[in-house]
Amino acid sequence: MKQRLLALRYLVSTLAVSMAFGLVCFAQQTSGQTSGGSKPAATAQAPAAEWPSDPVGMLVAEWTRAKNWTKEYLDKMPEDGLTLKATPDVRTFAEQMLHLASANYFYAQAGTGQKSPHARDAFAADKFKTKADLSKMVLESYDFMISGIKSLDAAKLGEKIQGRGGMLARQVVIRNGFEHQTHHRGQTTIYLRMKGVTPPPEPFQ
């Protein structure tokens, strides 16, 4: 009798978990439809009136916002601005963006435990002749991070791994990656200005 009860409880909880997953999956598909990657930035999702309360949801929200913001930078730079550099000894606009993308893969690989599909030389600037090619690579690096974060849970986020600065929680590595992309996107603000383009406003919401 007791065993049967246990089995029943097991069944019910399995059902509940699978329903929850189904709901999440549905929600993701729906949100994916409204913020599709190739659509103009104007259709990007409006900020929620309330922040997600779970740590994974919060990180996904922040990285999605970061992705949309970087996309606006890419959209605003004219095609002939990819090779612009502010001085001879700094990265071009495309090199800044590719540096950001390769680092996103690096931090996502370290922080979320996925294997990056790209070798280091995949980010060489001479491989990206058009803004479309560049944008694809950069935005996919955000997708790689976001899908990696979604595969984690709160306990995994707190798990310590060997990082560049010693033993670091996964969420610290992910946050350092966030700071890194903010730092380099920030630099390219000046490149836009030097091309006479008004940079996108800051979407901190």
Partner 1 sequence: MKEQFKAFRFLVSALAISAALSLVCFAQQTSGNQGNRVQAPKEISADKVAALVAEWTRAKDYTREYLDAMPEDGIGFKPSADIRSFGNQMVHLAGGFYFMTKPIFGIDAPYDPRKMEEMPELKKDKAALTKTVMDSYDLVIAQIKKLDAAKLDESITLFGIKMPRHIAIAKAFEHQTHHRGQTTIYLRLKGVKPPPEKLF
**Minimum separation from the CB atom of position 50 to partner 1 (A):** 5
Whether 70 and 142 have beta carbons less than 8 Å apart is answered as yes
With CB under 8 A as the contact rule, the residue among 53, 117, 119, 201 that binds partner 1 is 53
Say whether residue 186 binds partner 1 (CB under 8 A): yes
How would you label 35-53 residue by residue, b for 16+ Cβ within 10 Å and e otherwise?
eeeeeebeebeeeeeeeee
**Quick check: 193 binds partner 1 (CB under 8 A)?**
yes
CB of 30 to partner 1, least distance (A): 21
Tokens of 146: 């976001």
Give the distance, in angstroms, between the CA of residue 191 and the centroid of all CA atoms in the same chain: 22
Token representation of residue 121 = 């030389």
Determine the size of the site formed for partner 1 (CB under 8 A).
40
Q: Are 130 and 123 in contact (CB under 8 A)?
A: no
41, 56, 58, 84: residue in contact with partner 1 (rule CB under 8 A): 58
Q: Which of 10, 47, 79, 127 binds partner 1 (CB under 8 A)?
A: 47
Q: Does 170 bind partner 1 (CB under 8 A)?
A: no
CA–CA separation, 186 and 31 (whole Å): 27
Residues that bind partner 1 (CB under 8 A): 47-51, 53, 58, 62, 86-87, 89-90, 160, 163-169, 172, 175-176, 178-180, 182-187, 189-191, 193-194, 202, 204-205
